[in-house]
Amino acid sequence: MRVFFTSSLLANISAGITTGLVNLVYSISFAALIFSGTLTYFFPQGLGIALIGATITAIVVAWRSSFPFALAGPDPNSAVILSLAAAEIASTIHKTNTEASLYPTVWATIIFSTLTTGLFLFLLGWFRLGRWVRFIPYPVIGGFLAGAGWLIACSSFKVMTGFSLSLETLPNFIQTEPLFQSVLGILFTVVLLFMLDRNKHFWALPSLLLAGIACFDGLWGLTHLFSVPLNSEDYFFKPFPQEQIWQAWQWSTFTHINWSIFIHQSSTVVAIAVIVMFSILLNATGIELATARSVDLNRELRVNGIANLINGFCGGGVSYLSIHRSLLNQQAGANSPLSAIIAGGFCGATLIFGSSFLAYLPKTILGGLLLYVGLGLLIRWVYHAWFEFPTVDYVLIVLILIIIAIWGFLQGVGAGILIACFFFIFNYGRTSGIKYTLSGTTYHSNVQRSFPQRMCLHEEAGCIYILVLHGFIFFGTANDLIDEISDRLANQELSQLQFVIFDFRLVNGIDSSAVLSFMKLKQLATNLRFDLVFTQLQPAIAHQLKQGGLITQTSSICYVFDDLDRGIEWCENRVLENKQMGDRELIPFQEQLQEFILDDALVGKLMGYLEFLEVPEGKFLFHQGDESNGLYFLESGQVSVVLELSDGQTKRLRTYNHGTILGEMGLYTYAARSASVVADRLSLLYYLSTQAFEKIEVEDPQLAASVHKFIVSLLAERLKRCEKELKDLLQ
């Protein structure tokens, strides 16, 4: 046990030192990316901001993350946006000749971005909104990352030469010094691309970085032997006093902030918060897939939010969960938060005890590392995406990349969201809001009617048209309803339309354009004299339809029912009333039996075996779970089959009117009743018990055969109707 503990401890310490070195190099690289060009003088302060963020975030995220090997630190996606903002601030301040406010304004922008990002992430996690980010189209996020890769790649030349790569700065790269610096950085990038693509070992990147630094420093020593005139400040960071790193929250810095320029960067702050949110959720999901571990996205948002809030108050920059450094930490042997805490402590020790070694770090090596990161994103989201995404999605990725490259990151983000909305509307608009359509001829309510009424509905209920809607009904799909009804009205082969039923059971919302479409249908129904029936409306949808004037208490066109079954029942009753086939309860039961058993003598014999029952309203004929022991003939009244729920409530399954039969399976099985039957009003029934039927089989086989035939015909009719309904649903 002690051996295992010692081995695990050493593995975590080794992994922490390894990833701490990588985190340190990334921190230096991103600090150099932001504080480059005219801001190079403030690189020490920028390095302090990066190291504070790397130290605090690594420790806090390691302590509370879902992953025991999670490692956080500065990241290129936020660094590249801050570098653009810093360059814009520098350009604006240079024009106004207020150089004293340059660093304070850049510092304020970075710190405010960190605090805003931290608060935004924490609130997202606190209100458990992390899952909603999964609804953002993947190609849009891919376009953002591809654009970030392009900006990182272009900005890497700023670290190498002092000039960011653009059309305006191309003449500068023709000069000998910038060209030589760029070539050295590109050569190192090529080595990284070639070697890391073939060697996935966790030591590969740190080893190549150390080898690159050693080789460059060795070549630099040879230039001195041969007296080659090269300026060390063009290739190495200038040594600086240790106290220059500590510039956090100094009153002199705070008083020199150019507030007008700072406020102008508010859009940049928002962009960073959104991009960091995307990055954290993508990174967490990527780690989840790579390590087969489950992740709580809201927890990751909260812990990264807390870390950045602490960063901001301590003067640190934006930092968050890194997928590459976390996986590197795991591959190096980390299995507990100790390794990431050590990695954070490594950056903290550099911050506190010394940074003189920075004078030996070549700018071209760090620039080459940034170029490798940028090209990696471009290769992933431009080259590999070509083979992974459909053409439309790939075009969206490239389009966002082009917009970012030409007009800027914020414009690309905004355009990407707008394009995604357009594609969503276009694609969703092609999906009909009608799930399927049914006819009243084949799809009936759960009211079991007499044989003559069933025959009447079979012939006349084609005037009932049922539309089952689904999804969100908006301007892209609402017009389909008008077209569908118009096509049905124009079809001369079908019965004249009298009722249109809209079932909203599968609808989760509508917009104002859908209300307008229903108002047009109401006008059409008024002119052509047919009714509109709305079933199972959600309260919010019902409120919208009432506000739009569609549903009113005095309306004689639009009707609302709790569910589709009640709506169809109402329409069927109207059809029967129009055909004078409504209640016929005064017909004696013996005459009703003659519709099923044609021999009058056999009907008379059957009446001798039946028991007459009078069931008042509200009384149960039998309860769910009772033993099946016979069938019932309903002479008059109405009963309903209900399912008794555990909470004491009941749910109607079917309603039986006069002239119908229920419980027929009780003649053949003694299984418990699957539902209860209750009288909706005073009902008169005749009961044929199982014992009485067995007596019929012994005493009068001919009568028994007639009853058997009748029940088989009844079941066959019901099965035929179910098959027809299923066929209509599958069309």
* Sequence-separated (6 or more) residues with CB below 8 Å from residue 634: 656, 657, 658, 659, 660, 661, 662, 683, 684, 685
Distance CA 125, CA 398 (A): 31
**């008042």: which residue's tokens?**
616
State the pLDDT at residue 201. Answer: 67
Answer whether 256's CB lies under 8 Å from 101's CB: yes
Distance CA 256, CA 97 (A): 13
Q: What percent of the chain has pLDDT over 90?
A: 18
State the pLDDT at residue 43. Answer: 85
Of 419 and 340, the one with more pLDDT: 340
State the pLDDT at residue 245. Answer: 60
State the pLDDT at residue 342. Answer: 92
State the pLDDT at residue 240. Answer: 60
Name the least confident of 86-95, 155-164, 284-293, 312-321. 284-293
Section 602-606 average pLDDT: 82
Section 594-616 average pLDDT: 81
Of 686 and 3, the one with more pLDDT: 686
State the pLDDT at residue 516. Answer: 87
Of 442 and 728, the one with more pLDDT: 442
pLDDT at 637 over 80: yes
SS3 per residue for 255-324: HCCCHHHHHHCHHHHHHHHHHHHHHHHHHHHHHHHHHCCCCCHHHHHHHHHHHHHHHHHHCCCCCEECHH
Of 334 and 468, the one with more pLDDT: 468
Answer whether 566's CB lies under 8 Å from 535's CB: yes
Give the pLDDT band of residue 300 (cuts 50, 70, 90).
very high
Cα separation values, 193 from 190, 198, 210, 486, Å: 5, 9, 16, 62
Give the pTM: 0.60
Of 105 and 245, the one with more pLDDT: 105
DSSP string, 623-691: -TTPBP-EEEEEEESEEEEEEEPTTS-EEEEEEEETTEEE-GGGGT--PBPSSEEEESS-EEEEEEEHH
Give the pLDDT band of residue 57 (cuts 50, 70, 90).
very high
State the pLDDT at residue 112. Answer: 94
Of 422 and 280, the one with more pLDDT: 280
Cβ-based neighbour number of residue 511 at 10 Å: 15
Give the pLDDT band of residue 389 (cuts 50, 70, 90).
confident
C-alpha 456, offset from chain centre: 49
pLDDT at 561 over 90: yes
Name the least confident of 57-66, 236-245, 569-578, 622-631. 236-245
Which own/partner pairs from 415-418 qualify as long-range (CB within 8 Å, at least 24 positions apart)? 416/140, 416/143, 416/144, 417/140
pLDDT at 153 over 80: yes
State the pLDDT at residue 571. Answer: 93
State the pLDDT at residue 332. Answer: 65
Answer whether 466's CB lies under 8 Å from 535's CB: no
Give the pLDDT band of residue 731 (cuts 50, 70, 90).
low
Q: Which domains does the chain have, with CATH numbers?
A: 2-239+250-425 (no CATH), 434-578 (3.30.750.24), 589-730 (2.60.120.10)
Q: What is the DSSP letter of 236?
A: B
State the pLDDT at residue 3. Answer: 43
State the pLDDT at residue 692. Answer: 87
Name the least confident of 269-273, 389-393, 667-671. 667-671
State the pLDDT at residue 594. Answer: 67
pLDDT at 56 over 90: yes
Of 480 and 50, the one with more pLDDT: 50
Section 510-527 average pLDDT: 88
Name the least confident of 19-23, 545-549, 583-587, 606-610. 583-587
Q: What percent of the chain has pLDDT over 70?
A: 87
Each residue of 185-241: pLDDT tens digit?
Answer: 899 999 988 888 777 665 677 778 888 888 888 888 777 666 666 777 677 766 665
pLDDT at 476 over 80: no
Whole-number average pLDDT of the chain? 82
State the pLDDT at residue 2. Answer: 47
State the pLDDT at residue 661. Answer: 81
